[in-house]
């Protein structure tokens, strides 16, 4: 006789209650959610649940191209019982937060990344890509030596680089490039 496996933390966090009124299906697993909470926190879910799409009347809505663990963690961050996640999960969660338009999730991820032991280039990339001003304000001062800038730009001629080779930082926004340039000037005024 085989035992039924115990439900995962992802399933128990999203078990059916008298407060849930929708079911999202990921990889065949059901997450019971509250439409009002998700609609409040996400324009994506507001549109999904409240517009004239076929999903509005469906008893179960399948969400594709996500992993159950990542998606459940994402949704839990706007509920009373968030699933613990760490710095290694932050980029995946931020990507999903953008995809599902859940801006409230960005701040907890930002705080995790500020405390994370990642290099400043990686933090800078995430801060810029996901518009995390707190992380950006944390990481810019970490560029405090020529060596930090060299690892960022891969070029020892820093001022010449900013003047002529700025395409190396093209993935970064102009605002972030300006902040880096100001930081460079603060460190090397002459």
Report the alpha-carbon distance of residue 48 to residue 12 in Å, rounded.
24
**Where do the structural domains in the chain lie, given as residue ranges?**
1-84
Q: What is the pLDDT along the chain (190 residues), one digit of tens a residue?
A: 567 677 788 888 999 999 999 999 999 999 999 999 999 999 999 999 988 876 666 789 999 999 999 999 999 999 988 999 999 999 999 999 999 999 999 999 999 999 999 988 899 999 999 999 999 999 999 988 777 776 776 544 544 545 454 444 557 888 888 888 888 888 876 5
CA dihedral for 176, 179, 181, 183, sign (positive or negative): negative
CATH number of 1-84: 3.30.710.10
CA dihedral for 39, 42, 45, 47, sign (positive or negative): positive
């Amino acid at each position: 006789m085989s035992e039924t496996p115990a439900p995962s933390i992802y399933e128990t966090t999203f078990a059916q209650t008298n407060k849930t009124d929708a079911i999202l299906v990921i990889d065949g697993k059901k997450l019971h959610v509250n439409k009002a909470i998700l609609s409040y926190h996400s324009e994506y879910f507001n549109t999904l649940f409240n517009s004239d799409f076929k999903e509005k009347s469906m008893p179960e809505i399948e969400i594709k191209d996500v992993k159950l663990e990542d998606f459940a963690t994402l949704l839990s961050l706007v509920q009373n019982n968030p699933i613990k996640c760490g710095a290694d999960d932050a980029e995946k969660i931020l990507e999903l937060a953008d995809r599902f338009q859940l801006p409230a999730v960005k701040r907890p991820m930002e705080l995790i990344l500020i405390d994370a032991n990642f290099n400043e280039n990686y933090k800078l990339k995430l801060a810029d890509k996901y518009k995390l001003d707190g992380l950006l304000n944390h990481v810019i001062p970490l560029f405090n030596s020529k060596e930090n800038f060299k690892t960022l730009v891969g070029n020892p001629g820093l001022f010449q680089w900013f003047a002529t080779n700025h395409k190396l930082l093209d993935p970064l926004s102009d605002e972030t490039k300006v902040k880096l340039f100001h930081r460079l000037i603060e460190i090397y005024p002459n």
